[in-house]
Structure 1
């Protein structure tokens, strides 16, 4: 009997999230046919049907559910699938442990590599070590999408199966949404990220970070220390308790380099650290280190570097 892998595809409003192809690539590593679950408009299901690596799309044309209702949906399908895979986002992190409890399967989070069908790799100790976990039986897991290479679209779409509704679980409900309302690229998908830490000193000084990010067509990030101090909103926090990023270029200005922050930037291709303390831990992780005052370095970089699009 053929076993299958179910992947929960992330949705960004009315379209598939840009990381959807990466999540499918992770699911394919289990060596089983991949079915994709889409909860949203029919147009999103049509997009999913053209993703390389997807053998079938399961579609429920409903508004994005809460974690409890999503867990019910997946649990109802679970007997058809050995493995359930989702991106390591807030909804999946809340729903998949519930699925594991309802179906008696194991749950693993933030997987960064899948060497074989029965082993996965995930960070431990705030990313300072990587653990290879041997897996037996059915599994639910979230993956760090940025750690996997995306697959191309296919020419011909696959079949889309309409799903019957499930009884909603109303024990939690969404009261509202707040968006950043800015023109900069999304932090988790940006090619360039410029981040500020406690060293920026005040919220108004984050304008120096923003100016350089805008010059390079990048996103703005912040360390937890900067967020806790009120210099930047929680939505741009990078690190173990914030967002994990994997840009081509990460510029850390006034960030000391606590292990919790480094855990969120380890996949960046090039890390540039700017700090006036030559002994700051961030320099041990940087490809390029600039020992200097960020109030002088950031304006100089913004003026000297050519402007780039997002």
Structure 2
């Protein structure tokens, strides 16, 4: 009979056999002296759990293995690529439902419900982040969650979804204009953001550092007058987390490698006429460049 291990402090589990850290060590290591314990995610483990581990196994040195563990996830296997591809198929379907639900008078949470229902119905097992919907003045939020605010005709909405399939995440983000075609300013900003994304895609290839990649969209957006509205890096990795290391920002020396899953995320916030905008999709890094996980999103961006 297998043993159950529960580690929620102060909780009671009638009928279950509860083990301390020391008892676990004795049971599974046959009493061998444990010299070192590798810890992953130390910045997220509650202090009470860490203190209990230290007190019960005082002879063991606790070593932070978080970075080494994270680097194992940088390059993906063919199976992982397949899972990510399925997630991106769900992401586009979900985003289509979201965009089709953005109508004058409808509430943000209603559009989020449509998007999440479409993803769940198609096989999503969860989401990498709460569905992003920011309309009107709320569009200035970096990742605004849906609220009871009603959409208003003519405003531009920051919208994004992140369905997860078999533990692997995808994302689809693009602006949606309520009811009407975008006005002149909205249209220009949308075109510039899409162009920045496509320029970044063309630049991405193995061997480049984060700072080399970041320079491409940042310089383009600076020339277009948006230098004060780009507070974030534009490329990051994705996988078991939608937003995971490595992050290819303006000071990054991380190097793009073949068989990585990368997201290009062009986002701007604080523009006086367009409070916020985000365009994001994912790519598979090949020997000669990148391949889109979602050609449909690329077509939306004008590829």
TM-score bucket of the superposed structures, by smaller chain: under 0.3
Task: Give the TM-score normalised by the residue count of structure 2.
Answer: 0.24
Taking structure 1 as the reference length, what is the TM-score of the superposition? 0.24
Higher relative helix content: 2
Higher gyration radius (CA): 2
